[in-house]
Structure formats: C-alpha cells, structure tokens
Amino acid sequence: MTKVGKPEQMIVNGKRLDGRELEQFRPINIEVGILKRAEGSAVFKFGSTYALSAVYGPRELHPKHLQDPQQAVLRCRYSMAPFSTTERVRPGRSRRGTEISMVLNEALANVLFFEDFPKTGIDVFVEILQADASTRCAGLNAASLALVDAGVPMKDFISSCSVGKVDGKIVLDLFGLEDNFGDADLAFATIGNKDKIVLMQLDGIVKKEELLQMINLAKKGCSEIYEKQKQALKEKYKTGEEDVENE
C-alpha cells in the first residue's frame, strides 16, 4: 500500500487541505444509546474519525480481590479496530492502546462519584472504528456520553478536542495529514464548559505564546463540543419521551 507523502503546503490562501477555516471543526455527529445490550453507549464522530463507546456498571466487581470496599473501580479500555486505518491494525493490546486507556481513565475519574458504589466496577470500552486523527478526543467524548446514558452519577461530562500547529498556524481539530505532518498537536479536555483541564498532551515543540494560543483555542473548541453533547442528550431523551407517549 502506497503511503501518502507530506504535501508541500497544508494551508493555502488561508484554507486547509480539506477546505476548512483554521478554527473550524470537521462535521460532528453524535448518537447516544445505540447499543441495546450495553447499559450506556454513544458514538462520536469528528469527520472520518469514528469512536464508539459502551459502558457496563456499576456492577459487582469480579474477581473479588479487585474490589475496593470504599468505592467503585473504573476500568477503561481503548482499542482500534483492525480496519480502522489504511494499514491493518494488529488485534489485541498495544502500548499505545494501554497508554490512551490510562489517559481516559484519569480524565473520567474527575467526574464520577466513586464513593457511591463500593465494591463495584464501572467498565468503559472505547472502540475506534475509523481513524483520521483526534481519536482519543473522540473516544473521550463518546465515553463521557455513554456514562451519562448508563445513568452513572457524574459531576458533569467531559468535552475534548485537538488543536495543532500546521505551516506555522494554530488550527482546530486536526485531521490525518495535519496530525502526521504538522509541527505540533495538542489533545485537550475540560469539564462542564469550565476552565478545569483534565487532559493536555502536547506532541511537538512550540513557543510559549503559541502554546497559550493553542490552549485558548482548545477551550473554545471544548465549549462548542459541550453544547453539542448537551443537545445530543436532549434529543435522545426527547425521543424517549415521545416513544412513551405513543405506547
């Protein structure tokens, strides 16, 4: 399979290669409650990046030696489907999958009321069905919505997006070419449309003023994501109410 080489320019006349403005998201699509056999589920899409999350629990944790008598145990698992990229992903656990699983676990731990469910486990699965950059951000958004759908008590949900430096410009929501050949990328997440940051991972070298610009743009992006998440939940429960009325 032929690999795509680095374009000579990724920003031409103020436009990115996919036609977007510098501070514009790809099309965002959200669905909540799509898996009947999971207690909570959600899909979150940034353009061609497609993340599916399923939640099980709180439920009694087995084996019992893993239980915490004081609180619930959160277990996140991030993985990529073998067909999710242009080159087949090897099935099973990977170092990258393990690292991102830990990132998701640490971020989500900021919003859950663990002490309400001693001796239980909350399992959060995130599967990337199609990858075109920003997969951990899409996965975190999907997981947060799936937890809400499962009825797990939360302080608020988490909103996440990526920003980066491409051709010397700061841009929002990187897609594949920008992620592969850009100067830097930052995965970012906040709680409840507020300034509390629960994820900030920078890959690349930027100046202090560029980093501050990236953070400000990421906060703005997370705020936009938060509103879309709220709207998706409203639509889901609105549909549920209509179904009850029609019975």
- Tokens describing residue 145: 């919505």
Range scoring the smallest mean pLDDT among 203-207, 226-230, 243-247: 243-247
**Is residue 228 situated within a structural domain?**
yes
Quick: pLDDT tens for 101-145: 999 999 999 999 999 999 999 999 999 999 999 999 999 999 999
Quick: pLDDT tens for 167-177: 999 999 999 99
**Is residue 78 situated within a structural domain?**
yes
- Bridge partners, 80 (sequence order): 128
Its pTM stands at: 0.91
**Is residue 246 situated within a structural domain?**
no
Bigger pLDDT: 188 vs 8: 188
Residue 246 pLDDT more than 50? no
Residue 55 pLDDT more than 70? yes
Q: What is the mean pLDDT of residues 226-238?
A: 92
Nearest alpha-carbon partner for 188 in 150, 120, 142, 138:
138
pLDDT, residue 167, reads: 94
How far apart are the C-alpha atoms of 141 and 44, rounded to whole Å?
7
Task: For 177-198, give the secondary structure using H, E and C.
Answer: HHHHHCCEEEEEEEECCCCCEE
Residue 234 pLDDT more than 70? yes
- Tokens describing residue 101: 């699983």
Residue 40 pLDDT more than 70? yes
Bigger pLDDT: 79 vs 89: 79
**Is residue 140 situated within a structural domain?**
yes
- Tokens describing residue 61: 């944790």
Q: What is the mean pLDDT of residues 30-55?
A: 97
Cis-peptide, bond into residue 69, ω within 30° of zero: no
**Is residue 3 situated within a structural domain?**
no
Residue 91 pLDDT more than 80? no
**Is residue 7 situated within a structural domain?**
no
pLDDT, residue 207, reads: 96
CATH number of the domain enclosing 187: 3.30.230.70
Residue 3 pLDDT more than 60? no
pLDDT, residue 112, reads: 96
Bigger pLDDT: 186 vs 194: 186
Query: What is the extent of the structural domain holding 206?
Result: 14-241
**Is residue 139 situated within a structural domain?**
yes
**Is residue 224 situated within a structural domain?**
yes
Question: Whose structure tokens read 């975190």?
Answer: 140
The pLDDT-based confidence of 20 (bands split at 50, 70, 90) is very high
> How many domains is the chain partitioned into structurally?
1
